[in-house]
Structures are given as C-alpha cells and as structure tokens.
Amino acid sequence: MPANPFDPDKDIAMIQSIPDLPDGTIGFRYTGKVTADDYKQVMIPTLDEAMETHHHIKALVVLDDEFDSCDLGAAWEDTRAGLRHWRGFERIAIVSDSELIRVSASIFGAMAPCPVKLFKANAQDEARLWLAESLGSIHLDRDGDVITVQLLGKLDPPAYEKVDRDLTNLISHTKHMKLLLDLRQFDGWSGLTALYDHLTLIREHRHSPEKVAVVGSQTWEKVLQRILSRFINAEASYFEADRAEEAQAWLRA
C-alpha cells in the first residue's frame, strides 16, 4: 500500500518518481523526512524494474529544499539497494543546494563505480543534459595487419559494450595482428566499472596481438603500457604523442 502523506506520525512527502525521463534513466525527488517505507514502496521497485530491462541505467536524484533527513531504516535500505545494483549504474546526477548534501555526495562520488556529478537546484535541465550525453567513444580502424583503437574523451561502460563485437570481428579477419592503442585524446575512465570493462576487454583478446604500441602524452599512460604488458601475451612499447608514425613503423617492422 502506498505511503500515506497525511499520516500524522510521518512528515509529508518522501520519495517521488520523476516522470518523463528518457528510456534507461530513472529519477527520484526527495522531500520531507524519508523513511524505510519510502524506499520499499517507491525507489526499490522502480530500481529493480529498471535493472531487469537495462544492463546499465542512469539516475537523476533531486533533493528539494524541504528534504529533511533519512531515518536509520531509510539509510539501511539505501545502502542495501546500492550494494545490490552497485555495478548497474552508468552515471548519477545529484541536484541539491544543501552544502552538507553536496559534501556527502562528493565523498560518495569518489567511491562510486560510475561518474557522479553535482548540480545546483536551478541547473536541473543541465543535469538532464549531462545524463543524456555521451561521455566518450572508441574508434576502430584497420590497415593491413595493424588495428588502431583510438580512445576519445572520458569513457563509460557502454562505450566498451558497443566496441567489443566490432573489435572481435576485426581480429577474426586479421592473421598477424598488431595493435596501436591511441590515447592522445583520452581523458581517462568515468568510474571503476569503466576501468574494469577496459581490463576485461584486454583480457578477452590478450592472445590476439603479436605487438602492441601505446601512443600518448601523459605519465599515467606509460603506467597503462606496463599494465598491458602484464595482461597480454605480446611485446608492448610506449611512444610519446609526437611519435605516432614511429609507433606505426615499429609495429610493421
């Protein structure tokens, strides 16, 4: 039975679903004092249903000025729901003017497996746009036995889902494969899930390349080259951004 907002023993409002969001995006508005019943009757059923039909979902969380607090039962339900679907979030937008909420959300964002971004109350439209946009992309190209994988922007999990089949197809048609990993326009991973998907993709194709050249311009990209050398059964070498042609020549030698 839905929570009764007129219950004299309970503050009005709680959690309300936000309508008219794109497919794969769910939203919740918090007002008043949230209890465990609010999670059980509104948030958790919506979250479970979304996870049944989508591999990853996006979430818009709006904390109104009237939002007071969560009781211990609500905090437990929030934690339990988050842990059950920990790897299912693609990104989360949190809208609030409360400084305490923003500090707490910043701490949560540092540990979350997906990008979490904070928005002021008057920037809800901006939050919706951020949820809808693509953070980054992966471009594939093949020239003879050299397959180039170019990482652009900040990558999130769907970017790897889209490229996995295409990469497998390219590899299947390349007899003596050499891999050029172009990181010159790569801004990193959007969360721990994206990093995990990156390493999973490497592990699944670790027997494919004979040589791997990493082209980049940041110190951490040299570290990535060392990680690659441990994951794949191939000779790997790092080249600075202005040595891309040298990397191509090294692969073909």
CATH number of the domain at 29, please: 3.30.750.24
DSSP state of 35: -
Structural tokens at position 192: 């721990």
128 with 156, same domain: the answer is no
Over the chain (253 residues), what is each successive 10-residue block's mean pLDDT? Answer: 44 76 91 82 87 86 80 57 68 89 79 82 91 78 90 75 80 85 79 65 71 81 67 80 92 91
160 with 122, same domain: the answer is no
In a domain, 6, yes or no: no
What's the domain range around 57? 14-132
Where is the domain boundary, 79, 100, 132? 132
92 with 165, same domain: the answer is no
Enumerate the H helices of the chain as residue ranges.
36-38, 44-53, 72-84, 99-111, 124-132, 157-172, 192-204, 219-231, 244-252
In a domain, 85, yes or no: yes
CB atoms within 10 A of CB 204: 12
In a domain, 1, yes or no: no
26 with 115, same domain: the answer is yes
Length of the chain, please? 253
| Per-residue pLDDT at 75 | 58
59 with 119, same domain: the answer is yes
28 with 112, same domain: the answer is yes
Overall domain count for the chain: 2
Query: Which of 91, 101, 97 has its CA nearest to residue 128?
Result: 91
128 with 168, same domain: the answer is no
158 with 117, same domain: the answer is no
Where is the domain boundary, 97, 112, 132? 132
| Per-residue pLDDT at 187 | 73
18 with 114, same domain: the answer is yes
Where is the domain boundary, 99, 132, 165? 132
- Per DSSP bridges, beta strands 136-143 and 146-155 are antiparallel
In a domain, 5, yes or no: no
In a domain, 224, yes or no: yes
